A and B are shown apart, each in its own frame.
Chain A
Amino acid sequence: MSEKEDAGCGCKAKAPEDIGRRDFLTRATAALGAVIAAALSATGLGYFVSPAFQRRDEDWVDLGRAGEFKAGAPSLVEFTQRRRDAWVTSERRSSAWVVTADGKNFTAFDPRCTHLGCPYRWDSGASRFVCPCHTAVFDLDGKVVSGPPPRPLDQYQTKIAGNRLMILPKAEEKA
């Protein structure tokens, strides 16, 4: 490298318009570079961060005709849920406890105890849900009657569409 370059504009006395041109080109180059970088990074960033803002489809599961559920006693309904995970479609077998007092309003409970995830059962004699692991007891509304669970039974969202009962099982498995 010759020593001329140390000052950036050289030692030769340059005409002012020469300096002006250099200055202009520097700015123009920076601007062009910025446009190129912006175009690429805007596209890339949009693509990369889009999962954060993506609306996910609600995976409602059809449990059957609403009129077929007995009022009063809860029933355990098994269902298969077909789900799309980006490009993978998978099936998951699961179940829910469905409770209705009048055949119009429904409650659906996650079938795992909120204590440690054991599958609880319905004790028809006592009209209570009973967990086999640590003898937790829940009432028909899912409230803790006795035992160690930290919260009432987890509920799934329910709705009636047409005359069919739909539930929305939570997408994530809880640990």
Chain B
Amino acid sequence: MESWHEEYKKRYAELKEHGKSFFPYTVFKDACVALAVLVVLFALAHFHPAELEPLADPTDTHYNPRPEWYFLFLFQALKFFPGNLEAVAAIILPGLGVLLLLGVPFLDRGAKRHPLDRPLWTGLGLAAIAGFAVLTWAGMESPMTNPAEAVDPQIAAGRRLYDQMSCAHCHKIGGKGGTVGPALDKTAGGETEEWLTRHFKDPQSVTPGSSMPKMNLLDDEIKVLVAYMKSMHAEEPFTAAAPDLFTENCAACHKLGKEGGDVGPDLSFIGTARDKAFIKKYVEDPSKFKPDSAMPAYKGQLTDIQIEDVARYMSKQGR
């Protein structure tokens, strides 16, 4: 036992003697803070409810995995270690960190407690906070390399139901599926919502002689299927100005067919790889997707309508 232990105990007993009763003096402060915390919690829960992203999809190749914010520093730290040393960052360092945390009382054993009297430990603590903050900040700043696609939950639910009900036995979408019924990406998007709704309730009622069975769908199922069908609306047309816009702004660097420069990638088949929404975001600010891109951001240079037009034009290339 170290020399100051007895003395500390004596001093603490004295302090306790002169202290106040836990209840109500301390409990009152605790209750005030507790209520404040609860109010903030309810406010956050009410005004920013927990999000629910689309259903887990193991085949998705577009997703940007990110951990919860308080694990982000660890996630970010992994970037500083080459593959063969990853275990060091992922397991060994955090493990040592936990051991250090557990061992703090055995490493810092003097009688001094005030932070200014323990510069080493205070410094270490501040350094840890700073390290956490810097790594977390860097993690938040790091670009989402995969294009984030906003998915309408209705459309996603419709697509899921389409799969569950095995509609692809008879119908084609995107070239996949059966041939008994029509290819839906070519036809269904053009129908009105009302027609689609009646069709899903009872196909024969709008298409006499249709071989599609009545599916007994629930109303909300019909709603999401209609949303899915409508989302495949024949894509929006570009204007006659779009090719000129391309020639003036893009052709110096990009090829389209045989015309155009070689600085940037050939865009002749871009429509087969990227959709309009992605192209639009990319043209607006390429650095969001490719930080080292030499392409300038066109947001502000072209009007939003012009960018939309070009994006529509590009999304048709190669299709």
Stretch at the interface among B19-27, B82-90, B126-134, B283-291: B19-27
Bound state CA distance, A33 and B30, in angstroms?
A: 10
Bound state CA distance, A39 and B39, in angstroms?
A: 9
Interface string of B198-221 (1 = CB under 8 A from A): 000110000000000011111001
Residues from 23 to 68 in A contacting B, C-beta threshold 8 Å? 25-26, 28-29, 32-33, 35-36, 39-40, 61-62
B218/A32 in contact, CB under 8 A: no
What number of B residues sit within 8 Å (CB to CB) of A? 21
Residues from 1 to 46 in B contacting A, C-beta threshold 8 Å? 17, 21, 23-25, 27-28, 31-32, 34-35, 38, 42
**Candidates A39, A62, A89; contact of B42 at CB < 8 Å:** A39
B35/A32 in contact, CB under 8 A: yes
Provide the residues of chain A in CB contact with B202, threshold 8 Å: 62
A91/B216 in contact, CB under 8 A: yes
Bound state CA distance, A36 and B36, in angstroms?
A: 10
B35/A25 in contact, CB under 8 A: no
**Candidates A26, A40, A89; contact of B24 at CB < 8 Å:** A26
Bound state CA distance, A49 and B221, in angstroms?
A: 27
B42/A29 in contact, CB under 8 A: no
B216/A81 in contact, CB under 8 A: yes
A170 on the B face (CB < 8 A): no
Look across to chain A and name the residue whose beta carbon is closest to the beta carbon of B42.
A39
What number of A residues sit within 8 Å (CB to CB) of B? 23
Bound state CA distance, A28 and B24, in angstroms?
A: 9
Q: Which residues of A contact B (CB under 8 A)?
A: 2, 5, 22, 25-26, 28-29, 32-33, 35-36, 39-40, 61-62, 79-84, 89, 91
Q: Which residues of B contact A (CB under 8 A)?
A: 17, 21, 23-25, 27-28, 31-32, 34-35, 38, 42, 201-202, 214-218, 221
| Interface pairs (27), CB distance under 8 Å | A2-B17, A5-B21, A25-B24, A26-B23, A26-B24, A28-B24, A29-B28, A29-B31, A32-B34, A35-B35, A36-B34, A36-B35, A39-B38, A39-B42, A40-B38, A61-B216, A62-B201, A62-B202, A62-B214, A79-B216, A81-B216, A82-B215, A82-B216, A82-B217, A82-B221, A83-B218, A91-B216
